[in-house]
A and B are shown apart, each in its own frame.
Chain A
Amino acid sequence: MHQIKLNNNEKILFAISLFIAFSNGFSQIKSGEKLIFSGSYNMSGILTPLAQITMSTGTITTAKGSYLHLSCQATTYSKWDSFFKIRDLYESYVNPTSLKPSLYKRNITEGGYNKTEKYVIKGNSITSTAKKGKKPETIRTFGIGSNTQDIVSTIYKIRTIDFSTMKAGQAKSFTVVFDEEELPVIVKYMGKETVSAGSLGSKECYKVSISARTNALKGTDKNLMWLTADDKKVPVLIKFSIKVGVGQLTLTNATGI
């Protein structure tokens, strides 16, 4: 048997490698990932493709450190642009390990209506700069809980949950800040199901129900997400039920995972 002997420098390097490996395992979200979904709206049982939703990650480096840039954008398919043009951009700049956000930005254009929001998150306080339609810009500062996250980083945070140790029916709680209000969000694990996952083929997935105490989401267990039952936990199918109807996002392409 060979024994591997490490000198002090090698030991430090090994410890750093272990830490990096552990850190990556903790966040599970890689920079350079790009997921493309087809967003369809269900009209009387017929799914009509409406928009392309792209979720991507990148790295941004500042003088003090680096951030994981999480971005979700929605773009209507060109045939819809003349009738109802959507150009939505949701961004979150988070700690690459803990996914704790420092900056959240929302810029939406939906059928001629514009809204921009920017939250600078420092500890338990948010300074929000918002502009809705033609109204003047407003700036306000408000307090949040220590575990409160923005909507984008919460979606990614859900992907870090270890569902393999959970039993069907078990739930986890999150607090999301949206429209300058904190909302409790419950993520309930519902078991495993095999679904079609676009370019990834057919995949065994964790089925998760998302509910929030808000008027935006309707019904019990009607807002569902299927995440691949592996370390990557890629969202492959999302079904949602909102005030104006039901729809779904289907993964069509995934790169950098």
Chain B
Amino acid sequence: MRKIFIILAIILILFGIVFTILPMEKFGLLASLVAMIFSVLAYKKSKAEEVNFPKYLSIIAVATLFTATYFVFFTNNEVVAIDQQFEQQKIESEKEAKNTLESEGL
């Protein structure tokens, strides 16, 4: 059982990190939360001489959880960067449209 908890914790920590790096931090938050639970369970199932690895897993899971929490609750995820090229494209498109309408006699 300890091994299963450790494997699940490792997989979920990896998912947590990947989702947090990708802009899917809500999934990162969920994955790292579950990873933390599994690493704590693994820690509880460990003998005294085996507790180090689950302990490190818990620390990494908590760190991922904090990072994902920060991105979910303390950053604005709905920001659009000013894209000069796109702005220029819109201006050019309108000019071209006007020329087309006039040249087509519309």
Residues of A within 8 A of B83 (CB): 75, 87
Look across to chain B and name the residue whose beta carbon is closest to the beta carbon of A36: B80
- Please tell me which stretch of B4-12, B32-40, B45-53, B88-96 contacts chain A, meaning at least 4 of its Cβ atoms lie within 8 angstroms of it: B88-96
Whether A78 touches B97, Cβ cut-off 8 Å, given contacts A46-B27, A73-B90, A122-B104, is no
Partner of B97 from the list A43, A46, A77, A91 (CB cut-off 8 Å) is A91
Say if the beta carbon of B44 comes within 8 Å of chain A: no
Known contacts A77-B78, A83-B23; is-contact A118 B100 (Cβ 8 Å): yes
- A107–B93 touching, CB < 8 Å: yes
Distance of A240 Cα from B34 Cα, bound (Å): 31
Q: Are A122 and B77 within 8 A (Cβ)? A: no
Which residues of A are found within 8 Å of B90, using beta-carbon distances? 71, 73, 89
CA distance A79 to B75 in the complex (A): 11
Segment of A1-9, A15-23, A59-67, A158-166 engaged in the interface with chain B: A59-67
Interface size on A, residues (CB 8 A): 34
Does chain B have a CB within 8 A of A69?
Answer: yes
Q: Is B86 an interface residue (CB 8 A)?
A: yes
Contacts of B23 in A (CB 8 A): 48, 77, 79-80, 83
Closest to B24 in A: A48
- Within 8 Å CB of A87, what residues of B? 83, 86, 89
Residues A49 and B77 in contact, CB atoms below 8 Å apart: yes
Assess A93 versus B97: contact at CB under 8 Å? Given A38-B78, A63-B102, A107-B89.
yes
A52 at the interface (CB under 8 A from B): yes
Whose C-beta in chain B lies nearest to the C-beta of A69?
Answer: B94
Is residue B1 contacting chain A, with contact meaning CB distance below 8 A? no
Cα of A118 to Cα of B78 in the assembled complex, Å: 31
A52/B80 in contact, CB under 8 A: yes
A89 to B88, CA, bound (A): 12
Who on chain B is nearest to A78 by CB?
B81
Q: Which residues of B contact A64 (CB under 8 A)?
A: 101-102, 105-106
Residues from chain B with Cβ under 8 Å of A46 in the complex: 26-27
A120 at the interface (CB under 8 A from B): yes
Taking a contact as CB atoms closer than 8 A, the residue among A52, A60, A83, A93 that contacts B78 in the complex is A52
22 A-B pairs within 8 Å (CB atoms) are namely A43-B27, A48-B23, A48-B26, A63-B102, A64-B105, A69-B94, A73-B90, A75-B83, A75-B86, A77-B77, A78-B81, A79-B23, A81-B81, A83-B22, A83-B23, A87-B83, A89-B93, A93-B97, A93-B101, A120-B100, A120-B104, A122-B104
Going nearest first, the 9 A-B pairs with the smallest beta carbon separation are A78-B81, A79-B23, A102-B106, A52-B80, A62-B101, A62-B102, A87-B86, A46-B26, A75-B80
Residues of A within 8 A of B (CB): 38, 43, 46, 48-49, 52, 60, 62-64, 67, 69, 71, 73, 75-81, 83, 87, 89, 91, 93, 102-103, 105, 107, 118, 120, 122, 252
* Given contact pairs A77-B23, A103-B97, a sample of 14 additional A-B residue pairs in the complex whose CB atoms are under 8 Å apart: A38-B78, A46-B26, A48-B26, A60-B98, A69-B97, A78-B80, A78-B81, A89-B93, A91-B94, A102-B101, A103-B100, A103-B104, A103-B106, A122-B106
